[in-house]
Amino acid sequence: MGLFENKRFTIISISVLVLLNLILIGLVVGPELGKRDRDRRDGDKRRAFVEKELGFTEEQKQAYDSLNSSHRTETKALQQKIDEKRREMFRLTQVDGVSIETVDSLTTEIGMLVSNMELRTYEHISNIRALCTPEQLQKLDSLVQRMIKSRRDREGDKKEHVRRN
């Protein structure tokens, strides 16, 4: 009686292989799905926090949601372009004889995209300011300063983490 003629062994083997495939698929796809949900939840929390912190009216909330939606779409597209250019530049590190002009061109493109992203953020904050009452403007200014500090602190933590590893 051959090894594969044993039905029990065949069923167990196939079951183990299917289970391993499902685990591998989960490892590859799972983190990306979780990231999207987490990003969406973080955006919703941030939006609700700003609306509450500034005391927006229902009309202001609707306008703010619209501004956020378009800003997120714009910056997401820009970030994808930036990431693609960075990947392209990384691929160049794997090629011999790349000219400095090619690298300089890519870094210039990345810089322009980052500059465009900053301009979009400036416009976004300006548009939010246009929604605010004078009392809300003071709260918004304070909130923006705290957000900038928080981002700087997070980036500092990331750099420190990289240095330690």
Q: Is the dihedral of CA 48, 50, 54, 57 positive or negative?
A: negative
User: Quick one: tokens of 138?
Assistant: 């003071």
- What pTM, to 2 d.p., does this model score? 0.64
Which three-class secondary structure state does DSSP give residue 98?
A: coil
Q: Looking at residue 161, what is its pLDDT?
A: 58
Q: How many CB atoms lie within 10 A of CB 85?
A: 20
Q: How far apart are CA 116 and CA 78, in angstroms?
A: 8
* 8 A C-beta contact, residue 143 and residue 53: yes
| Mean pLDDT for all residues in the chain | 83
The CATH-assigned architecture of domain 67-129 is Up-down Bundle (1.20)
Q: Is 31 helix (H, G, I), strand (E, B) or coil?
A: helix
pLDDT, tens digit (0-9, with 9 covering 90-100), for 55-81 = 999 999 999 999 999 999 999 999 999
The structure tokens listed for 152 are 């700087």
**What is the H or E stretch that residue 141 is in?**
helix 134-164
The mean pLDDT value for 87-114 works out to: 90
